[in-house]
Amino acid sequence: EVQLVESGGGLVQPGGSLRLSCAASRFTFSNYWMSWVRQAPGKGLEWVASIEGNGNEKYYVDSVKGRFTISRDNAKNSLYLQMNSLRAEDTAVYYCARFGYSSWEFDNWGQGTLVTVSS
Amino acid sequence: DIQMTQSPSSLSASVGDRVTITCRASQSINSKLNWYQQKGGKAPRLLIYAASNLQSGVPSRFSGSGSATDFTLTISSLQPEDFATYYCQQSYSVPPFTFGPGTKVDF
């Protein structure tokens, strides 16, 4: 069974930085696109960023472009999200998710890590 | 960007009911539509991909249909564990990978 475990969330002041990590196991990590999806308290799901298996191609939602950077280390089976210039509206649970091969579907998800941006 | 809407935003149902949730795209997305279930504070779970394909391990009471702009998720006989929020997501014109606003199914 695929396993995705996020870490690195916490409380940070506006303008601050945080780095999220996602440890992947029980599948060939380098073969899959990976993503971060977030959910603000009481709100719906919002895709944040995605990265190709070899790390070359990356996509971001407009609201985080220039502030967030997605990356991966295939040798460590790990996905990262570097978040800079954080804003209150970035407060959310951040999920690590794997893309399936069929329809750009998010076929496996981690349990999420909470990021709170507040002074 | 393609916008996704869902109706209703919430519904009340009973165990054994047939439940239908609708998802509409702002333009044609062919069959590039996925459905997820999320239970209180937990991670979402993929139910249906490419409009009508049941994800492995998902009970057969769940089904999906539709194409172009209009899609439907049907639960043929609602079970206690199905009370949750359901989201659709388009994967035709990407990025961004757009989710619908969700439909909450409760008692």
What is the pLDDT confidence band of residue A102, given thresholds at 50, 70 and 90?
confident
Distance CA B82, CA B76 (A): 11
Kindly state the average pLDDT of the residues A73-81: 98
Can you give the pLDDT of all 107 residues of chain B as single tens digits?
Answer: 999 999 999 999 999 999 999 999 999 999 999 999 999 889 999 999 999 999 999 999 999 999 999 999 999 999 999 999 999 999 998 889 999 999 999 98
Q: Contact B43/A109, CB-based, under 8 Å?
A: yes
Residue A118: Cβ-neighbour burial (10 angstroms; 0-12, 13-18, 19+): exposed
Distance from CA of A11 to the nearest CA of B (A): 19
Q: Is residue A51 helix, strand or coil? A: strand
Distance CA B89, CA A50 (A): 15
Which pair of structure tokens corresponds to residue A85?
Answer: 């210039």
Q: Is residue A64 helix, strand or coil? A: helix
Q: Is residue A32 helix, strand or coil? A: coil
Q: Is A90 left (phi over 0), alpha (psi -120 to 50) or beta?
A: alpha
Task: Give tens-digit pLDDT for A16-71.
Answer: 999 999 999 999 999 999 999 999 999 999 999 999 999 999 999 999 999 999 99
Q: Is there a contact between A58 and A46 (Cβ–Cβ < 8 Å)?
A: no
On average, the pLDDT of chain A sits at: 97
Q: Is residue A31 helix, strand or coil? A: helix
Kindly state the average pLDDT of the residues A72-97: 98
Give which of B97, B98, B104 to mutate to test A binding, by max A Cβ within 10 Å: B97
Name the nearest CA neighbour of B103 among B41, B37, B59, B58. Answer: B37
The pLDDT assigned to B93 comes to 85
Residues on chain B touching A112 (C-beta within 8 angstroms):
43
Classify the C-alpha dihedral B42-A37-A6-B57 as positive or negative. positive
Name the nearest CA neighbour of B99 among B35, B31, B7. Answer: B35
Chain A contact for B15 (CB, 8 A cutoff): no
Distance CA A97, CA B91 (A): 15
The pLDDT assigned to B41 comes to 83
Task: Identify which of A95, A100, A108 has the shortest CB distance to residue B49.
Answer: A100
The pLDDT assigned to B107 comes to 85
